Amino acid sequence: AQSVTQLGSHVSVSEGALVLLRCNYSSSVPPYLFWYVQYPNQGLQLLLKYTSAATLVKGINGFEAEFKKSETSFHLTKPSAHMSDAAEYFCAVGMNSGYSTLTFGKGTMLLVSP
Amino acid sequence: DVKVTQSSRYLVKRTGEKVFLECVQDMDHENMFWYRQDPGLGLRLIYFSYDVKMKEKGDIPEGYSVSREKKERFSLILESASTNQTSMYLCASSGTAAYEQYFGPGTRLTVT
């Protein structure tokens, strides 16, 4: 069975600082990996996805993530945080077999201070 | 753009009531999903459907049922609502062999 671990339920950064949100997964087959963002009282919005093409994936709003098979990681980064980045971020993994279900991490709340 | 809509943003029901949550997608997606979201627990899959009239249990199906009579519509039913079903409910859809899911805005259900 696949699983996702997001390190840190809350991450605080200053505006303009580097954002790093960590995600590790376990999967017995090459996975599909996703990052979603959720703003208050809204649904989840897809930020970016890895589907076995380039290991460095660029997403919306200046975010990117790097797939590292040896570390089973898919960390999300942004060079310079903006106040509007404050939200909850979810990492998810899907296996390339069976139904198209995703397993989500528990989420990381990103707090951005001026 | 894919659009997933949910019938209510906020809902308040009493214990024991039968509750219907409806979800509609406009992208002809085969797969539809119902999740509940609780603080500190992330998203947990309740049920999903990969075709009309087909359904599969997710991780936490107890106390819930679903119905998919038309491809675009997927309903979540709480047969007898209980206070521990107070939660945010999210619907999502995805296409065949595609894993990215598109989410609705959510329904915040309170059971008193």
CA distance A101 to B99: 7
Share of residues in chain B with pLDDT > 90 (%): 88
CA distance B85 to B101: 24
Whether A97 shows a pLDDT value over 80: the answer reads no
pLDDT of residue A101: 87
**pLDDT digit string (tens) for A29-64?**
677 899 999 998 889 999 999 887 788 999 999 999
Whether A102 shows a pLDDT value over 70: the answer reads yes
**What residues in B contact A9, CB-CB < 8 Å?**
40
Question: What average pLDDT does this structure show over B99-111?
Answer: 94
Question: What average pLDDT does this structure show over A8-30?
Answer: 91
Contact check, Cβ <8 Å, B4/A43: yes
3-class SS of residue B84: helix
Confidence grade of residue B2 (pLDDT, cut at 50, 70, 90): low
CA distance A114 to A95: 39
CA distance A54 to A34: 14
Contact check, Cβ <8 Å, B106/A43: yes
Whether A24 shows a pLDDT value over 70: the answer reads yes
pLDDT of residue A51: 81
For residue A94, what is the enclosing H or E element?
Answer: strand A87-95
3-class SS of residue B70: strand
What's chain B's length in residues?
112
pLDDT of residue A96: 60
Q: Which of B33, B90, B100 is facing A34, going by the closest CB pair?
A: B100
Contact check, Cβ <8 Å, B105/A32: no
Nearest to A39 by CA among A65, A60, A69, A24: A60
Beta strands in B26-112 (DSSP E): 31-38, 42-51, 54-57, 65-70, 73-78, 87-94, 102-103, 107-111
Q: List A11's β-bridge partners, or say none.
A: A110
pLDDT of residue B96: 74
pLDDT of residue A73: 93
pLDDT of residue A3: 86
Please state the separation of Cα A98 from the chain's center in Å.
Answer: 23
pLDDT of residue A98: 64
Question: What average pLDDT does this structure show over A70-86?
Answer: 95
Whether B87 shows a pLDDT value over 70: the answer reads yes
Beta strands in chain A (DSSP E): 3-7, 10-14, 19-26, 31-38, 44-50, 56-58, 64-68, 73-78, 87-95, 103-104, 108-113
pLDDT of residue A55: 87
Tell me how far CA of residue A73 lies from CA of A7, A9, A17, A53, A56, in angstroms: 11, 17, 22, 16, 12
